[in-house]
Amino acid sequence: MPPPTSFTDLLFGGRAVRIEWREIGRDAPPGTPWIVFLHEGLGSAAAWRDFPDRLCAALGWRGLVYSRPGYGRSTPRAPGERWNADYLHRQARELLPA
């Protein structure tokens, strides 16, 4: 079973959101490449199970697994909130760098 996740509070779309995330390979040497695991529209950090850990271990890379807003244990979507069809791209462009 993967280690527990952490949480970070950020601003996204004009409101505060809490993002569930987990880092893999925290003790890796500086300059070690990263993989960011982006789940699809029905996923979450937990849905990846131990795949990120196994892949990062096999490659010797670090990893970042997180649940987008509205998924997993991140801030749920507000009642009645509507998202455009590009919401996955928008979250990757705007939220992930934060």
Q: Where are the alpha helices (DSSP H) in 1-98?
A: 51-59, 87-90
Q: Please list the residues that pair with 22 across neighbouring strands.
A: 65
Tokens of 65: 């697994």
The pLDDT score that the predictor gives to residue 98 is 85
Below-50 pLDDT ranges, the chain: none
pLDDT of residue 40: 81
Query: Which pLDDT does position 2 carry in this prediction?
Result: 63
Write down the pLDDT at residue 59: 97
Report the Cα–Cα distance between both ends of the chain, in Å, rounded.
Answer: 27
Neighbours of 44 (CB within 10 A): 18
pLDDT of residue 21: 95
pLDDT digits 0-9 by tens, 71-89: 999 999 889 888 889 988 8
Q: Which residues, listed in sequence order, are joined to residue 12 by a DSSP beta bridge?
A: 15
Closest CA to 49 of 18, 70, 24: 24
Quick check: 56 and 24 in contact, CB under 8 A?
yes
For 38, phi then psi, to 5°, come to -100, 115
